Amino acid sequence: MKTRAMVCHAPGTPLVEELLDLAPPGPGDVLIEIMASGLCHTDLSQIEGKAAPYPFPVVVGHEGAGIVREVGAEVTSVKVGDHVIPVGIGECGTCRNCRSGKTNLCEAFLGDIALQPSPFSLNGQPVSAYSGVGSLAQFIVTAERNVAVIRKDVPFHLACTAGCCVATGIGAVMNTAHVESGATVAVFGLGGIGLNVVQGARLAGASRIIGVDINPLRHEQGQRFGLTDFIDAREGDVVAAIQALTDGGVDYAFECAGNVRLMAQAFESTRIGWGCTVVLGVPPDGQAMELIPFQLQLGRRVQGSFMGNVKGRSQLPSLLDHFAAGRLNLADLVTHRLPMSEVNEGFALMKRGQSLRSVVAF
């Protein structure tokens, strides 16, 4: 079949609408009509070629929500008409990783996913699907293990955010760091992921949640999600300011911007003896975080977190239960709703710091 999709043909070039060929679903696959897709900074990194694991041309987008229109003969857990979120990290449920209870990184995901066949093609040539999803398309095909069935009473333009920024932020607090009630938290970078770290820390009962950003608009915005303090990173010594606010350093710091300098600052802002730094941001290819080993020997630790260690099929849908119960703020997260024809403007809003989450749809 044919599908409309927004394609990036080369690094640094605008997305253009193309009519792509879409392979039919195989026995274990699901055909999804995408009803809404959030724009994520990692999509922008792929487009700009700064952190670009997928070959061009590519359909970016990995934060989508939609409706199942067809299922393969071997599909048992998904049916036509279901509301779903396609996820980049699948969950087969049977591999050692899925059964471990320790990680969301299914072994089927751990190969080089950028080399896996894409269902998209143009004039007989393959077109990559970013993160194995490519949600800036009207229709996509993905494996059953990559499909999370969600409740039907959450609007698609809000539900799609659970597919990346909400899961990444909330999960990093709950599943990776295990922030406890009364803890102090610093969040470096108050974009879509950072603000979900903020509200995850609020849900966990953190006593102080300090946001660090260069955009002063994030102060008032962050307060809607639970922020208690704001530090403008352009003014003075951020680490010293955090240490002063917390009598020596925070219990937990989260880096959400993909900046190795901020990663070091986040680490230095944690308390000696037990401080934990969680790295969520994706830096440009080739950049490395530098640490002096003795800093780790003083009891601090650094952890990575991919999609908040949230299992895509069995755990991600419960995030929308929190929203339905009034515990999660998604309405203030989606600041712009745009037609797909304005997707490039959506990324421009992101670069200018004028949006938290822009959501697009055909």
For residues 166 and 232, the answer to whether their CB atoms sit within 8 Å is no
Question: CA separation (Å) from 87 to 170, 198, 313?
Answer: 16, 23, 8
Average pLDDT over residues 356-362: 96
Residue pLDDT, tens place only, 36-87: 999 999 999 999 998 888 999 999 999 999 999 999 999 999 999 999 999 9
Residue pLDDT, tens place only, 229-267: 999 999 999 999 999 999 999 999 999 999 999 999 999
The beta-strand segments (E) located in 57-205 are 58-59, 63-71, 83-86, 120-122, 125-129, 139-143, 147-150, 184-188
Peptide linkage before 283 cis (omega within 30 of 0): no
Record the pTM.
0.94
- 108-122 burial, b at 16+ Cβ within 10 Å, e below that, comes to bbeeebbeeebbbeb
Look at residues 144, 147, 133, 138 and name the one whose alpha carbon lies nearest to residue 1: 138
Domains and CATH numbers, the chain: 2-163+332-361 (3.90.180.10), 166-306 (3.40.50.720)
Residue pLDDT, tens place only, 88-115: 999 999 999 999 999 999 998 887 666 6
Look at residues 96, 335, 83, 119 and name the one whose alpha carbon lies nearest to residue 225: 335
Look at residues 137, 124, 2 and name the one whose alpha carbon lies nearest to residue 58: 137
